[in-house]
């Protein structure tokens, strides 16, 4: 009952753009504000799609990055073959908005969630899910769900997926023999490779892991089990995995926004990974001057920025360093000689890690090319972690 209630609540969330009564200037937004530069966002969409089209590679973007049906629809309209969702609730938010083709990239094993998955599959003919255990697959069969199945294969990451070739074959064969399920292929996601520093090192690591999948695919083919989908990869290896012949599509995500973690991994020919533009930023306001000339405080802390390894990157003050000042505050440490920011002035930041940062906000303030905001896009799947 509790999960059914939760599913119903997610599917009733608003997702359509909200037009503002009048345009709002960026520096008049209520801060902290998650700001999306729509023009840069569009260029990122087009660049990724054009690049993969030229390499005969499909794009299956991951909605865990943006949690927004509007963005998912833009990606599909731009040529994506499908979209991904990390969890059942995230998929439900997309399906409720009319996104029919969704791959859930994490296994589900509990009976209650499997029942909800079966219900969701009646509303989306293109729903798919990965499996990596007999428990999960048998649960799917018992639930009566009618949907596509991919076997999740773990080559090295140690998060989800199976490394046992016999298990891969057994799971694929059981799904293929089912009247309700359709075996579609395999997922291999090496998320830890996405942020390997240095293009050459990243290329070596990614291609080595993909090569380890060939024997498994050959084993499936010998048993008459065709993997029509071989999906994985991500933004960090978009221009590496595109040349792997048996891969059908890439689960790119952060390319639409970019963040500081990704910029630091380095590009193929540049110090920074700048293949895509920064389209997502967080706007804050300077609210205090605890050490005049040396430090200022902004109204954004742990409740505004999510960080794994790096801090938010100041974009308006050269040489300034950010450090967290708690839940509500961030502190900018200024280089000697840097002009003191005005109290009450705005400061913009590059997000440290875009996916979990987005999950802290209710909506995107969509910035037009003239610097004005005329609409907001709901982060519909915010908090959809089950």
What pLDDT, in 10s, does the model give residues 270-280? 999 999 999 99
pLDDT of 308:
86
CA-to-CA distance for 280 and 349, rounded, in angstroms?
9
Q: What percent of the chain has pLDDT over 70?
A: 100
Q: Which residues pair with 323 in a beta bridge?
A: 331
At residue 119, φ and ψ (nearest 5 deg) are -65, -45
Q: To which residue do tokens 């610097």 refer?
A: 371
Q: Which of the residue ranges 54-63, 173-182, 284-293, 358-367 would you say has the lowest mean pLDDT?
A: 284-293
Q: Is the pLDDT of residue 356 over 70?
A: yes
Residue 236, helix vs strand vs coil: helix
Per-residue pLDDT of 193-202, as tens digits, reads 999 999 999 9
One DSSP character per residue, 66-92 reads T--HHHHHHHHHTT-S-EEESSHHHHH
pLDDT of 294:
87
Mean model confidence pLDDT for the chain: 96
| Mean pLDDT confidence for 221-238 | 97
pLDDT of 319:
86
CA-to-CA distance for 335 and 314, rounded, in angstroms?
12
CA-to-CA distance for 348 and 313, rounded, in angstroms?
9
Residue ranges with strand state E in the chain: 18-25, 33-37, 58-59, 83-85, 102-104, 128-131, 148-152, 182-188, 229-232, 249-250, 280-291, 295-298, 313-314, 321-324, 330-333, 346-350, 363-367, 372-378
Task: Sketch out the chain's domains with CATH numbers.
Answer: 39-257 (3.20.20.10)
Q: Is the pLDDT of residue 1 over 70?
A: no
Q: Which pLDDT band holds residue 318 (cuts at 50, 70, 90)?
A: confident
At residue 322, φ and ψ (nearest 5 deg) are -100, 140
CA-to-CA distance for 281 and 358, rounded, in angstroms?
10
CA 94 to chain centre: 13
| Mean pLDDT confidence for 122-136 | 97
**Could you tell me the pTM of the whole model?**
0.97
Q: Which pLDDT band holds residue 322 (cuts at 50, 70, 90)?
A: very high
Per-residue pLDDT of 130-177, as tens digits, reads 999 999 999 999 999 999 999 999 978 788 999 999 999 999 999 999
Residues 6+ apart with CB under 8 A from 242: 51, 52, 55, 57, 250
One DSSP character per residue, 189-232 reads --GGGTT-SSHHHHHHHHHHHHHTTHHHHHHHHHTT---SEEEE
The more confident residue out of 107 and 1 is 107
60-63 long-range contacts (CB < 8 A, ≥24 apart) are: 60/84, 60/103, 60/231, 60/249, 60/250, 60/251, 60/252, 61/251, 61/252, 61/253, 61/256, 62/86, 62/105, 62/234, 62/251, 62/252, 62/253, 63/90, 63/94, 63/102, 63/253, 63/381
Question: Which helix (DSSP H) or strand (DSSP E) does residue 136 occupy?
Answer: helix 134-143
| Mean pLDDT confidence for 87-111 | 97
Residues 6+ apart with CB under 8 A from 23: 372, 373, 374
Q: Quick one: CA torsion of 65, 69, 74, 77, rounded to 10 degrees? A: 120
| Mean pLDDT confidence for 324-339 | 91
Q: Which pLDDT band holds residue 287 (cuts at 50, 70, 90)?
A: very high
| Mean pLDDT confidence for 297-311 | 96
Report which of 74, 82, 83, 15 is spatially closest to residue 45, judged by C-alpha positions.
74
pLDDT of 331:
97
* CA atoms 179, 184, 185, 188: torsion sign: negative
CB-based contact 292:316 (threshold 8 Å): no
Q: Which residues pair with 152 in a beta bridge?
A: 187
CA-to-CA distance for 378 and 15, rounded, in angstroms?
6
Report which of 308, 312, 306, 334 is spatially closest to residue 260, judged by C-alpha positions.
312
pLDDT of 335:
87
Q: Which pLDDT band holds residue 3 (cuts at 50, 70, 90)?
A: confident
CB-based contact 253:359 (threshold 8 Å): no
| Mean pLDDT confidence for 336-345 | 86
| Mean pLDDT confidence for 24-48 | 98
């Amino acid at each position: 009952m509790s999960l059914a209630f939760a599913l119903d609540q997610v599917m009733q969330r608003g997702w359509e753009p909200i037009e503002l009564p009048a345009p709002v200037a960026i520096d008049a937004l209520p801060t902290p504000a998650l700001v999306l530069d729509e023009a840069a966002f569009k260029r990122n969409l087009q660049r990724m799609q054009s690049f993969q089209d030229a390499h005969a590679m499909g794009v299956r973007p991951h909605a865990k990055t943006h949690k927004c049906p509007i963005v998912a629809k833009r990606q599909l309209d731009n040529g994506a073959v499908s979209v991904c969702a990390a969890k059942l609730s995230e998929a439900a938010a997309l399906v409720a908005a009319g996104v029919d083709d969704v791959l859930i990239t994490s296994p589900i094993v509990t009976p209650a969630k499997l029942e909800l998955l079966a219900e969701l599959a009646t509303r989306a003919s293109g729903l798919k899910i990965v499996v990596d255990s007999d428990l999960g697959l048998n649960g799917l069969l018992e639930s009566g769900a009618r949907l596509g199945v991919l076997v999740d294969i773990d080559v090295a990451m140690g998060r989800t997926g199976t490394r046992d070739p016999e298990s891969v074959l057994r799971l694929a064969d059981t799904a293929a023999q089912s009247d309700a399920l359709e075996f579609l292929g395999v997922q291999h996601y090496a998320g830890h490779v996405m942020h390997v520093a240095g293009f050459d090192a990243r290329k070596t690591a990614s291609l080595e892991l993909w090569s380890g999948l060939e024997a498994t695919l050959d084993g499936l083919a010998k048993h008459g089990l065709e993997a029509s989908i071989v999906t994985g990869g991500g933004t960090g290896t978009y221009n590496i995995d595109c040349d792997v012949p048996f891969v059908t599509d890439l689960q790119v995500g952060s390319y639409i926004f970019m963040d500081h973690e990704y910029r630091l991994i380095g590009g193929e020919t540049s110090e920074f990974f700048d293949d895509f533009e920064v389209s997502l930023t967080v706007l804050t306001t300077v609210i205090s001057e605890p050490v005049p000339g040396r430090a200022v405080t902004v109204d954004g802390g742990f409740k505004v920025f999510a960080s794994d390894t790096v801090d938010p990157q100041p974009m308006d003050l050269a040489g300034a360093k950010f450090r967290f000042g708690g839940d509500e505050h961030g502190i900018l440490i200024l280089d000697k000689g840097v002009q003191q920011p005005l109290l009450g002035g705005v400061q913009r930041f590059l997000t440290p890690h875009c996916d979990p940062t987005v999950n802290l906000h209710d909506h995107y303030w969509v910035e037009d090319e003239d610097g004005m905001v005329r609409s907001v896009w709901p982060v519909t799947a915010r908090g959809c972690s089950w």
